[in-house]
Structure 1
Amino acid sequence: MLLLADDRHDVLDPHGLTAAEIQTRQITPHYLAALQQIPGWQGSYLAQTGPQLGIRESRHLRGIDKVLGDDALTGRRRADAIARCGWPIESHVEQGHTHYVPIKDDGWYHIGLDALRSETTPNLFAAGRLTAADAQAYASLRVMGTSFATGHAAGVAAAHFADFGVDVTRVQSELKRQGALI
């Protein structure tokens, strides 16, 4: 019997997050017992768990622009690019099954600067899992490599904003000077 934590908790609410933490820790011994049934795992034991439940998705920036699933699927190239993403769309629609949808052609697409810029706060930039994206694009760009790239770009953009305002050409030049792959 496969036991799964209820993934319908609102993790932005402290009570919902606490309930999810408790429920996940309650099912942990059941997973260990299942693993101990596998030949060679009989003597396994749980040394520790992570300090906090890993949350895949909770919020996104409301950006000036948004990365769309179609951008990923078609391998969209953009003049305002500040990062690339090469991870396929990773779908977890069916519990226990992962489906990957590849990116067209060269296998990567651009992320534009405006997907990192707040729609309402001019000097606020976000990156990684907070990048403005629809559900399909999010399932591609949420990974660590792309999060590093968008984080780098957001930092450079914020620093340049302080001196020059929003100037994508300056941001791109600085990212390239620092060795970023755009």
Structure 2
Amino acid sequence: MMKKIEADVIVVGGGPAGIVAAIAAGRQGIKTVLVERYGFVGGMSTAAMVYPWMTFHADSGEQVIRGIAQEIVDRLIERGGSPGHLRDTVGFVHTVTPYHPEIYQVVAVEMLREAGVELYLHSFVDEVEAADGTIRSVRITTKSGKIELAGRIFVDASGDADVAYLSGAETLKGRDGDSQAQPMTMKFRMRGVDLEQIKAYMLANPDNFYKKTPIDELPGLPLTGISGFYSEWQASGVPINRDQVLLFTGPADDEVLVNCTRVQGLDGTQVEDLTRAEEEGRKQVLLMAEFLKRDVPGFARASVSAVGTQIGIRETRRIVGLYALTKEDVVAGRKFEDAIARSGYPIDIHDPSGKGVTASWIAGDGTYDIPYRCLVSRNASNLLAAGRCISTTHEALATTRLTPSCMATGQAAGTAAALAVLDGVTPAEVNVARLREALIQEKAYL
């Protein structure tokens, strides 16, 4: 007989959005369960080495993402797991936030336990029971057999809108009219890198790097990211469809995270495509490492120290919500009455088939709002989304998918789920003014 567990709020996906959503719900005194398929939490931040977190700030330097996300950063700083928010020496955004993934995993679980969250690791959601537009339960496959998790409100923080899709709720994928999504990337780290040599080379060859690199500030800044080495890359002959080298420094003093592989034309929700992507991504890791050691200053003594547990996925399914955030909303810096989060990250689309990255910048104060309606499923009455699978267009997803924004929508989804339980209403009926007040009390910035 299948084991059955009942809770008020079921959060699926133990990435940054799911972690924060579960903490937010649990702090409201609501019985909350968090389900994660791996044996550790962190999602793309740990399993796929998505690093550093970018960005908590607008271009002006104003911090626009706070709340539980900032609590996590503060705890990491206390544990020696992060230097905090540092100037982005790529120049794409104002700040980046380096962190140590192993310390992050421990801190996150400690915060979940403190909030009273019941955690199920090694648990894969493969079935959703729903009737008449209401989800009754999710079923997880575990080493100890199948378990049914029955809940009142469900938060889909899977990144791939798995709960929405399995429930029969509407989802979208890729660009409007097709399913082309941003490429996947297998990230890896190298140790033995001479960062001082790289910085000296950047100062001597500024035209070989991204146009927004703060070269004038660089002598007095810790090196956090590098985008460029254009001449070396163009002469390399490496068969990867991109136009530059992108590196981020740390966590160690001689270490970099390499964000350069690019696997295009495959679907992150199809097992055959995912299998091919993992194979191709790991081949590209070796090609990139060989190129860096051979041709790029500072890498002569470097070696690969770690490769992602899985390939990094930028885009798959997203829910169809009560509202879909658009590119026009983002670039206009639009503000909404039902805003539950702000972001200062620009639109950043890695071409689904080409070499480049398309950026669109935010007007006005350099921030835009994410409305609560983007978190509420149009079809499933008791379903909220958080993180990468909220309701947006393909273009707007290219900003909301970034980790700090995912944390912010996670806090809103978890808080809204708790309020829905406490008031006996559906997510669509949650009092938004009360939700915003609750978020502000927990130090979110709206």
The residue number in structure 2 matching 1:114 is 373
* Higher mean C-alpha deviation, range 43-52 or range 17-26: 43-52
The residue number in structure 2 matching 1:146 is 405
Cα distance per residue 1:58-92 (max 9 Å; x no partner): 11111111111111011111111111121111132
Tell me the TM-score normalized by structure 1: 0.92
Structure 1 residues 31, 174: closer, same or farther in 2, change over 3 A? same
The residue number in structure 1 matching 2:444 is 180
How many pairs align?
182
Cα distance per residue 1:20-39 (max 9 Å; x no partner): 10111122221111111124
The residue number in structure 1 matching 2:205 is none
Structure 1 residue 52 corresponds to structure 2 residue 316 = no
Q: Which has the larger radius of gyration?
A: 2
List aligned pairs for 1:121-132, cutoff 5 A: 121-132=380-391
The residue number in structure 1 matching 2:288 is 31
Structure 1 residues 153, 40: closer, same or farther in 2, change over 3 A? closer
The residue number in structure 2 matching 1:75 is 333
Cα distance in structure 1, aligned partners of 2:331 and 2:284: 37
Cα distance in structure 2, aligned partners of 1:61 and 1:126: 7
**Which of 265, 269, 276 is the equivalent residue of 1:19?**
276
Cα distance in structure 1, aligned partners of 2:357 and 2:263: 18
What amino acid is aligned across from residue 24 of structure 1 in structure 2?
G
Cα distance in structure 2, aligned partners of 1:44 and 1:73: 40
Deviation at 1:142?
1.4
The residue number in structure 2 matching 1:3 is 239
Cα distance in structure 1, aligned partners of 2:305 and 2:331: 42
Cα distance per residue 1:112-132 (max 9 Å; x no partner): 111001111122111111110
Q: Which has a greater percent of helix?
A: 1
Q: Which has a greater percent of strand?
A: 2
Cα distance in structure 2, aligned partners of 1:102 and 1:86: 9
**DSSP-derived class of the 1:111 partner:** strand
Q: Which runs of 4+ in 1 moved over 6 A?
A: none
Tell me the TM-score normalized by structure 2: 0.39
Cα distance per residue 1:125-151 (max 9 Å; x no partner): 111111100022111221112111111
> RCO greater where, 1 or 2, for CA within 8 Å and sep 6 or more?
2
Cα distance in structure 2, aligned partners of 1:75 and 1:101: 11
Cα distance in structure 1, aligned partners of 2:331 and 2:323: 17
Over aligned residues, Cα RMSD in angstroms? 1.6
Cα distance in structure 1, aligned partners of 2:334 and 2:298: 48
Deviation at 1:95?
4.3
Cα distance in structure 1, aligned partners of 2:312 and 2:365: 32
**DSSP-derived class of the 1:47 partner:** strand
Cα distance in structure 2, aligned partners of 1:83 and 1:32: 38
Cα distance in structure 2, aligned partners of 1:132 and 1:22: 31
Structure 1 residues 105, 28: closer, same or farther in 2, change over 3 A? same
Structure 1 residue 61 corresponds to structure 2 residue 61 = no
Cα distance in structure 2, aligned partners of 1:123 and 1:48: 40
Structure 1 residue 168 corresponds to structure 2 residue 432 = yes
Structure 1 residues 2, 118: closer, same or farther in 2, change over 3 A? same
Cα distance in structure 2, aligned partners of 1:6 and 1:100: 20
Structure 1 residue 103 corresponds to structure 2 residue 362 = yes
Cα distance in structure 1, aligned partners of 2:315 and 2:435: 28
